[in-house]
Structure 1
Amino acid sequence: MKAFVFCLMAIGALGFSQTHASEKDAWAALREGRAVLMLRHALAPGTGDPVGFVLGDCSTQRNLSDTGREQARAWKAFLAEHGIDEARVFSSQWCRCVETAQEMNMGPVTEWPALNSFFRNRGDGPQQTRETIKLVNSLGQGAPVLMVSHQVNVTALTGIFPASNEGVILALPLSESPDILARVAPGQ
């Protein structure tokens, strides 16, 4: 019986080290420009957008809560732990995404309409996903790439339903069936 328990523990430890090594490889790929990080904005209570939503007017939108702002700020230290001190940051034009990107404090934020939510207009999803793939694949070498978007966008590209403030490291080049290297979030 002791030998059986020992074997189970050894197999479990082997599985853990492979998973850990895989995440370690994902972070290396992100640092080295062989992957990108796409994340869902931090906590903005509610679902979808309020009636009367106006893209350029944050007072008409769901916005980050205080907890959401704390979540977004946690990315700075989390990324630094993995050797990333600056990044090229791209965001949906929705206020909750722009604010998440700004609170991350990883570099200037560039708004990409392709990352905008298509929650209300699901038919726009395939075109926006293709445009996101095209934009990412056209980027040259440089600092790591971070994209802040919405659940529907992340799910359309990856098949993953991310929690608020959760990200997915995706291998480059991106495709409509991307290679998912890791799911990550500060405090995991």
Structure 2
Amino acid sequence: MIRIASLLLVLLLNPLVSFVAPANATEAGWALLREGGHVVLLRHAYAAGTTDAPRIDLDDCRTQRGLSDRGKQQARRLGSLIAARAQPVVEVYTSRYCRTRETADLAFGSSLVTDLPALDPTGDQAAQEAAKNEILSLVEGFTRSGNLVFVTHDDVIRSLTGSGAREGEAVIVRRSPEGLHIAARIIFN
């Protein structure tokens, strides 16, 4: 009987443990954004499909994966939460892809959003290194009291930090000698 009770206790507590870690990570992220002066790498919200067309035209959203209805709701929600729980977002840079631009516009309003080609994914190693340097330069030069947001893609975030992000996840970063160090994450469900 004691073994069964112990097993049940372990099974009941195990799911709780898995929920505590993301919540703590998320709260640490909110604490940083409340301070202001931080940089956020935000992966675009939920997008429909799994791949883009073989030939993408950045001016034609029909050739790209777009935000799903769920993604549009997620973008609005994350923008509302950031506005309510953090210092103001003072600058937003976005990839030129439609799903990133729409995420940025829905979350922060188009008046704050600036296209930054360096945030576009690229398969070319030299172009990727040049883009990374441009982004690092912007991060290094950011000294305002509000927060700076880059809306981009998983592979760009992975290139900058060595770690990926879920769709709609915010990764708060700090500059380090090796590049960008992840200070915290905010997961928007």
Specify the alignment match of 1:179 in structure 2: 181
Letter in 2 for 1:43: Y
**3-state secondary structure, aligned to 2:179:** coil
Q: Match of 1:102?
A: 105
Name 2:45's counterpart in structure 1.
42
Distance 1:104 1:57 in 2: 21
The change in CA–CA distance for 1:53 and 1:125 in structure 2 (over 3 A counts) is same
Structure 1 pair 81–175 and aligned structure 2 pair: CA distance change class (3 A): farther
SS state at 2:180 partner = coil
Decide whether the 8 Å contact of 2:47 with 2:67 is kept in 1. Answer: yes
Contact 2:88–2:146 (Cα < 8 Å) also in 1: no
Mapped partners of 2:180, 2:165: distance in 1: 16
Please tell me whether the aligned partners of residues 42 and 152 of structure 2 are also in contact (alpha carbons under 8 angstroms).
Answer: yes
Matched, 1:167 2:170: yes
CA separation in 2, counterparts of 1:162 and 1:70? 19
Q: How much does 1:68 deviate?
A: 1.0
Residue 81 of structure 1 deviates from its aligned partner by: 4.1
Contact 1:42/1:165 (8 A) holds in 2? yes
Q: 1:111 corresponds to which residue?
A: 115
Matches within 5 A, 1:70-81: 70-81=73-84
Contact 1:23 1:181 in 2 (8 A): no
Q: Is the 8 A contact 1:40 1:163 kept in 2?
A: yes
Give 1:23 deviation, angstroms. 5.3
**Matches of 2:94 and 2:184 in 1, distance apart?**
20
Superposition TM-score, scaled by structure 2 size: 0.76
Gaps of at least 5 residues in structure 2 are: 1-8
RMSD, matched Cα: 2.9
* Offset of residue 46 of structure 1: 3.1
Task: Give 3-state SS (helix, strand or coil) of 1:134's partner.
Answer: helix
> How many pairs does the alignment contain?
173
Q: How far apart are 1:176 and its partner, in Å?
A: 3.9
Q: 2:95 aligns with which of 68, 92, 96?
A: 92
Percent of aligned pairs with the same residue?
Answer: 33
How far apart in 1 are the matches of 2:58 and 2:177?
A: 28
| Structure 1, 28-37 or 39-48: larger mean CA deviation | 28-37
1:174–1:144 distance in 2 versus 1, CA, 3 Å: farther
* Whole-Å separation in 1 of the counterparts to 2:108 and 2:128: 28
Measure how far apart 1:77 and its partner are: 2.5
